[in-house]
Amino acid sequence: MRGPHDIGGLPAGPVDPQPHDLTFWEKQIDGVRAVVGAKGIYRTDENRRWVESLGEDAYEKLTYYERWTAALMRALIDKGVLTQDEIDARVKIVRERLAETGELELPSAEEVKCK
């Protein structure tokens, strides 16, 4: 059975090979993964396994770095490094701060459906 990540041989349209600039948060998640990797908490092979286990719906809707973020979050919770409550509390703080500065731009429900 194919996982959602296994699209080899399936029609998927053209691939855009042009590099793009990473956003600040994409650089942050890359840095966090590097730190937890250097501390021996999370390995590259684990990242792949966790990303592939996200399920088809999440895998299709999330971007590359959003998948990394979701996978790392699940792994750190399962390993007892963080709790869901700790993550939720921090996300709330960040959202409030970004809303105050006008930097919080969440997609509408319709935009999420179209992805």
Residue 112 has pLDDT above 60, yes or no: no
Q: Is residue 111 one of the residues assigned to a domain?
A: no
Within a domain: residue 11? no
Is 107 domain-assigned?
no
The CATH number of the domain holding residue 55 is 1.10.472.20
- Residue 95 belongs to some domain of the structure: yes
Residue 16 lies in a domain: no
Pair of tokens at residue 114: 């179209």
Check residue 115 and give its pLDDT: 46
Whether residue 11 has pLDDT greater than 60: yes
Asked if residue 13 belongs to a domain, the reply is no
Q: How far is 11 from 91, CA to CA, in rounded Å?
A: 37
Q: pLDDT for 30-72, tens place per residue?
A: 999 999 999 999 888 888 888 888 888 888 899 889 999 999 9
Total domain count for the chain? 1
Range of the domain at 63: 24-102
Query: Residue 14: inside a domain, yes or no?
Result: no
Q: Please report whether residue 75 resides in a domain.
A: yes
Q: Please write the tens of the pLDDT for every residue from 92-110.
A: 998 898 888 877 765 555 5
Q: What is the pLDDT of residues 23-32, one digit of tens each?
A: 988 999 999 9
DSSP string, the chain: ---TT--TTS----------PPPHHHHHHHHHHHHHHHTTS--HHHHHHHHHTS-HHHHHHS-HHHHHHHHHHHHHHHTTSS-HHHHHHHHHHHHHHHHHHT---PPPHHHHHH-
